[in-house]
Amino acid sequence: MTQQHPSTADQPRVVALIVAAGRGVRAGGDIPKQYRQLGNFSVLTQTLLAFLQTDLVDLVQIVIHHDDLQLYQHALGGIEPSSLNRLAKPAYGGATRMQTVNNGLEALGTVSSASDIVLIHDAARPFVSQNMIMQAIAAAIQHGAAVPVLPVTDTVKRVNEAGHVTETLDRSSLRAVQTPQAFRFGLIRAAHLAAAKAGHHDASDDGGLIERAGLMLATFPGDHANIKLTTIEDFVMAETRMATAPMMLTRVATGYDVHAFGEGDHIWLCGVNIPHDQGVIAHSDGDVALHALCDAIFGVIGDGDIGVHFPPSDPQWGGASSDQFLAFACARLTAHGGIVDHLDISIVCEKPRIGPYRAAMLARIAQIAAIRPDQIGLKATTSEGLGFTGRSEGLAALATVTVRLPEPKKGSSDAR
């Protein structure tokens, strides 16, 4: 059966604003830190690549310092010409970071609508991941304004001018804030203009302007790898990390699941409730597609199978919603350093028809596994009346997952 891709008409346009006008002297050297070499490319080239080499972002606007035009043009040399057509002409920075961002927003104003999503990102954070960009977009769509945060692990104290401690802060309620910070374009544009009008020009981050306007600022999980390169030590650490980064190996595994039809008025498939004149006989909700996916994911990391982690004999999984099984399998994969490249599912049944639910299924799996719907293959087939599926005694699903995993270290006992 030929099935169409889900509509993306409800997805807002996404623009990225890269803030690259800082002078960055603490990192040493005679050029601003965003133009310093890190591995094979400049820091800025790598940051731009993170936003240009993804189809999550429609347009990238950069804001540079007037004095850096030549450095900037040199940095573009590391980028394939085909990626450059989504990069707008640079805007120029102001006296403060806030004015620099404002200049970038103004440049975007001619091509953006209020409902667009804008990701505002520091050029000195080249390790921003695709996953982080995706989470930023999702958070802005849901909340209008959101910043990535990390728990503070060091104890934080307030000191006076003499360097004497005056207070120990309760770190449980403290968070360190990163970028990309994500906003509806109209919201952050208005917040910037209002702050500037009130004579406020030196906010250290854009989320702060949303707070200042009395609006809700949501958070989403930051990433420890997404460091801001500030000092010479940061560069040394980043170089070391790049040199010792493990090679990623591709792994593929399959999963298979069957449930028999029984009494009932609906079935669960790919996390979606489908009305049907039968149900399935199962301890959990009997979602064959998610169960097959779980087994495939456990397969790539050599981590048993769904029955090991969620034994049918255990009453706590009675009637359980299978989305938690898939979330658990994905978390195990992440704990192994794995990245999902692709999930592929085939559902085998005579009835119900899958077509009407296909887009919802893709969206649900993408949400649980934190991937894009276009990273999921989803097909359905009948078995031409043959066998148990043909006789409509039950339904089956096959899944194949493709992931990248860090190469195990030499001498490691890791069974991977």
Contact assessment for residue 180 and residue 54, using Cβ atoms and an 8 Å cutoff: no
Per DSSP, what are the bridge partners of residue 122?
19
Say whether residue 348 binds Mg ion (CB under 5 A).
Answer: no
Q: How far is Cα 407 from Cα 405, in angstroms, rounded to an integer?
A: 6
Nearest approach, Cβ of residue 288 and Mg ion (Å) = 6
Query: Rounded to the nearest 5°, which phi and psi values hold at 327?
Result: -60, -40
C-alpha distances (whole Å) from 184 to each of 13, 153, 204, 355 are 10, 31, 19, 33
Decide whether 251 or 291 has the Cβ nearer to Mg ion.
Answer: 291
Burial of 360 (0-12, 13-18, 19+ CB in 10 A): middle
Residues 263-302, one symbol each (x = binds Mg ion by CB under 5 A, - = not), give ----------------------------x-----------
Taking the complex as a whole, the smallest distance from the CB of residue 254 to Mg ion amounts, in Å, to 15
Task: Please name which of 322, 385, 387, 398 lies closest in space to residue 351, comparing C-alpha atoms.
Answer: 385
Q: From the CB of 46, what's the least distance to Mg ion, in Å?
A: 43
Looking at residue 77, the DSSP 8-state letter turns out to be: T
Question: 97 vs 291, which CB is nearer to Mg ion?
Answer: 291
Q: Which amino acid would we find at residue 32?
A: P
Interaction of residue 344 with Mg ion, rule CB under 5 A: no
Report in angstroms how near the CB of residue 315 gets to Mg ion at its nearest.
17
Q: How far is the CB of 345 from Mg ion (least distance, A)?
A: 14
Question: Which residue carries 């592929």 as its tokens?
Answer: 344
Rounded CA separation 51/38 (Å): 17
Q: Collect all residues with Cβ–Cβ distance below 8 Å to 5 and sequence separation of at least 6.
A: 374
List the one residue from 205, 257, 285, 344 that touches Mg ion (CB under 5 A). 257
Q: Please say which residue, 6 or 394, places its beta carbon nearer to Mg ion.
A: 394
Least distance from Mg ion to the Cβ atom of residue 252, Å: 21
Asked whether 272 and 380 are in contact (CB, 8 A), the reply is no
| Choice between 302 and 307, CB closer to Mg ion | 307
Minimum CB separation from Mg ion for residue 289, in Å?
10
If the CB atoms of residues 230 and 324 are measured against Mg ion, the closer one turns out to be 324
- 133 SS3 class: helix
Tell me the one-letter amino acid at 9: A
In the bound state with Mg ion, the residue whose beta carbon lies nearer, of 239 and 393, is 393
Closest residue to Mg ion, Cβ-based?
291
Min. distance of Cβ 257 from Mg ion in angstroms? 4
Side-chain half-sphere CA neighbours of 392 within 13 A: 9
Which of these segments, 233-241, 252-260, 361-369, 380-388, binds Mg ion (CB under 5 A)?
Answer: 252-260
**Which CB, 192 or 291, lies closer to Mg ion?**
291
Residues forming the site for Mg ion (CB under 5 A): 257, 291
